[in-house]
Amino acid sequence: MHITNKRHQEQATARWPALPLEAWKDTCQTLHLWTQVIGKVRLVLSPSINHWWHVPFYLTARGSTTSPIPSHGPTDRTFEVLFAFIDHHLLIATSDGATQAIPLVARSVASFYQESLATLQTLGIEVTINTLPCEVPNPIPFEQDERHASYDPFYAQCFWQTLVQTEMVLKHYRSFFLGKSSPIHVFWGSFDLALSFFSGRPAPERKGADRITREAYSHEVISCGFWPGDERFPTPAFYSYTAPAPPGIESASLLPAAASYNRELG
């Protein structure tokens, strides 16, 4: 599938396309859940890395990829899953040359989940995942979710293009830092593009934190990136946060002038 409307094509490939959440909210929610299906495959099969760096996606010139994942089969193959946002398909490729493509079209999360895992199985990749979505309100197990079933290729491409442009800015920003920093990656739980810088010091333990939060914030960190928004903050935004937050951060002077501190999101 390609975007055939010339005006839409020009807008989708603009350096900074408009991305009002209200215009693509249904697609955003569906795509978020699709990425969780594939992200959980990577989570199950990939060796652990600190701060959950073994689970995100990475941007490419065509879309967003898992990077190679060990299949744990008898042949020791790897495989990679790419959300292609120019051609609008999900491409699964193995290190022995096999490929399968699934069209990215308007369809339910349940349908996407079933076909994705069935396609992996035809390639000899057996995996069982936890089908309850993460970090979303009122989660519906993937195999039961017929509610989220939207896909607008125009806005999917606009979202990816925004991530691509943001990544280039973050790469330049990171180049001045000599300490420990993260890859620039797309987290499928929070559905954002993120870059993190670490001081090297352990952070105080968070009381009552779940294991995901404990590992993510085990050390002092400043993170920044881009987020498309959700019901709590229904507009796309560049963000930055510090954990643990230093005293007085909520009243600190901010630049640019449009920046503000959000108490709900921290």
- For 213-236, the DSSP string reads HHHHTSEEEEEEEEE--BTTB-S-
Do 23 and 138 share a domain, yes or no? yes
Instruction: Establish if 84 belongs to a structural domain.
Output: yes
Centre a 10 Å sphere on the Cβ of residue 51 and count the other Cβ atoms it contains. 17
Mean pLDDT in the chain? Answer: 94
Side-chain-facing half-sphere of 90: CA atoms under 13 Å: 21
Cα-Cα end-to-end distance for the chain: 39
pLDDT at res. 1: 57
- 10 domain residue, yes or no: no
Distance CA 158, CA 164 (A): 10
Looking at the fold, whether 123 and 214 belong to one and the same domain comes out as no
d(CA 118, CA 19): 33
Q: Are residues 22 and 117 in the same domain?
A: yes
DSSP label at residue 114: H
Q: How far apart are CA 98 and CA 89, in angstroms?
A: 16
- Tell me, yes or no, whether 159 and 134 share the same domain: no
Select from 104, 108, 107 the least CA-distant residue to 88.
Answer: 104
pLDDT in tens, 125-176: 999 999 999 999 999 999 999 999 999 999 999 999 999 999 999 999 999 9
d(CA 248, CA 225) in angstroms, rounded, equals 22
Structural domain boundaries enclosing 177: 154-251
Domain count, the chain: 2
Same domain as 58, residue 130: yes
Whether omega before 256 lies within 30 degrees of 0, making that bond cis, reads yes
Mean pLDDT for the stretch of residues 200-216: 91
Q: Please report the pLDDT score of residue 13 as a whole number.
A: 72
Q: Specify the pLDDT at position 192.
A: 98
Q: Which two tokens stand for residue 144?
A: 């039961």
Asked if 115 and 186 sit in the same domain, the reply is no
Look at residues 148, 149, 188, 186 and name the one whose alpha carbon lies nearest to residue 39: 188
Say if residue 102 is in the same domain as residue 164: no
Q: Using the predicted structure, report yes or no on whether residue 227 has a pLDDT greater than 90.
A: yes
8: pLDDT strictly greater than 70: no
User: Of 88, 112, 144, which closes a domain?
Assistant: 144
Q: Are residues 129 and 180 in the same domain?
A: no
In a domain, 160, yes or no: yes
pLDDT tens per residue across span 50-74: 999 999 999 999 999 999 999 987 7
164 and 101 share one domain? no
* Residue 236 pLDDT greater than 90, yes or no: yes
Structure tokens at 135: 């970090």
> Do 206 and 215 form a contact (C-beta atoms < 8 A)?
no
Q: Are 33 and 133 part of one and the same domain?
A: yes
pTM here? 0.93
For residue 15, name the pLDDT band (cuts at 50, 70, 90).
confident
Answer whether 77's CB lies under 8 Å from 93's CB.
Answer: no
